Chains A and B, each alone.
Chain A
Amino acid sequence: MNPSDLVYSEEHEWVRVESDGIAAVGITEFAAGELGDVVFVELPELDSEVTQFGQFGEVESVKAVSELYSPVSGKVVERNESVVEKPELVNESPFESGWLVKVALSDLAELDKLMTAEQYDTHLAREQ
């Protein structure tokens, strides 16, 4: 269920490295499922800097608030305004249209601190 072309953080965020050092970031299907129906998403401003494992936003479900921790460092070059307008995209399509921001990576070596899909599956199995 966790796509193999992504890398994952322990905080249940995913990273999809696209061309020219830009990475899309989102939360995993597991995280979205744990939250329940997401009804509010707060994203960092365009051009703001995010830090690996630093807080960069919030998602709220009907009952719970969860802080977002950036899996990578860099500058925010795109925000998914669709997900701000329609937070349910996080539940409906966590790995595709429910992405949150795109970040211009400042340090590609940081990706080594993240998990492969297989490692993330193991991580989930341990957490449950």
Chain B
Amino acid sequence: MAELHEGLRRTPIYGRHVALGARIVPFAGWEMPVQYSGILDEVRAVRSGSGLFDVSHMGRVEITGADSPTFLNRLFSSDVLELRTGRARYGVICTEGGGIVDDCILYRLAEHRFMLVPNASNTPAVLEWIYRWVVARDDVRISDLTDSTSMVAVQGPGAEDLLADLTSLDLSKLRLFRARETTVGGNNVLLARTGYTGEDGFEIMPPSSNVVALWDFLIDGGATPCGLGARDVLRLEAGLLLHGNDIDSTTNPYEAGMDRFIDPDREGYVAGGALQGIRNGSLRRVLVGFTMVGRGIARHGFPILDGNEQIGVVSSGSYSPTLDTNIGLGYVPTAFSAPETRFQIDVRGRAVEAEVTKLPFYSRS
């Protein structure tokens, strides 16, 4: 296995993962924990208590300068000028053709200061894309803070209580998709009520020099360490998309059902023309959620069938421990997208019945 891991990066928390008995896998250029006690245990911890994720491999890009709002408004999928300070917004970064470079969360930290968090594997592509749109007269500075800062997510119904002991910020006043610069365990951090699990929770960005102490505080407070395996199951149950699986440069945000994150009608938005065209046309295919009716687990890349004919492809699939059923996402012709529509999944040569399910599969009460 040694050669597999060559040249991979490690987050500052790597040593803790190993000490906690995590199974380490290569992921997006990093050596990351895929599981500690077991994926099912970890999913349960997040749905019923609190789970802790090292998500330092994700990108952190700071954009500052007097022109930073108008600059980002040309690149981000929704209106950045209207995004108020202290708020975060989920969206996508599209090419001029409407293909998805990445999905990101954009945080407005001040009038002229933003933090953009892209996926680990796409951070170089996002950086390259946004640098391309800087023009000399712009007062815009782009800083890649992926190394100097780190990021952990504490997620679950117990997350607020756990974190409340470590910060003076009144967390009950920090609403969903709000962010504050504050202290946690005595360390300066960016604290946001965001996540990728479908549960309440927080994402915390401290300087890298302090992240191990923060991790230890949260573990000592009772959070269950969780790996990428649980994270993938949790996000799928919550109907959240994964770039590289469900969306990529060959998919557009409308067929992926991301309409509510897209505002193409803005002056200067580089993908505006293409996205208006897609919005005003008719979609050839759409992303749907489905539940397996027959026995079998759908996986990324499996064909979707209507009888003998392939009509689509699975983009994500897993067993769902929370629902105790097998679920998935996939692209199908719009005629097959209504809830309860049946089709089959080709599970290694076996046609297994599946049924369209309205997303999300799981939402917290």
- Which residues from chain A sit less than 8 Å from chain B, CB to CB? 36-37, 39-40, 42, 58, 60-63, 65, 88, 91
Contact = CB atoms under 8 A, between A and B. Distances in A.
Given A62-B318, A63-B34, A63-B39, A40 B296 contact: yes
Contact of B35 (A36, A40, A58, A65): A36
A63 B233 CA distance: 9
Contacts, number: 40
Given A36-B39, A37-B39, A60 B319 contact: yes
B38 interface: yes
Contacts of A91: 38
B295 A62 contact: no
Interface in B197-240: 229, 232-233
Interface string B291-305: 000011101000000
A62 B299 contact: no
Nearest to B230: A62
A48 B328 CA distance: 31
A65 B299 contact: yes
A68 to B, nearest CB: 13
B314 to A, nearest CB: 13
Nearest to B39: A62
Nearest to B41: A37
Nearest to A34: B23
Nearest to A88: B40
A62 B23 CA distance: 14
Contacts of A61: 39
Q: How large is the interface on B (under 10, 10 to 19, 20 to 34, 35 or more residues)?
A: 10 to 19
11 contacts: A36-B23, A36-B35, A36-B229, A40-B297, A40-B326, A42-B296, A62-B40, A62-B229, A62-B321, A63-B39, A65-B299
Nearest to A60: B297
B300 to A, nearest CB: 11
Contacts of A37: 38-41
7 closest pairs, A vs B, by CB? A39-B319, A62-B39, A37-B40, A37-B38, A63-B229, A60-B297, A40-B297
B39 A40 contact: no
B81 to A, nearest CB: 42
A36 B228 CA distance: 13
Interface string B26-52: 000000001100111100000000000
A103 B96 CA distance: 61
Contacts of A60: 297, 319
A12 B54 CA distance: 33
B317 to A, nearest CB: 10
Contacts of B39: 36-37, 61-63
Contacts of A88: 40
Nearest to A87: B319
Nearest to A39: B319
Given A62-B40, A63-B39, A39 B297 contact: yes
Candidate in B40, B233, B299 with the most chain A CB atoms within 10 angstroms: B40
Interface string B170-194: 0000000000000000000000000
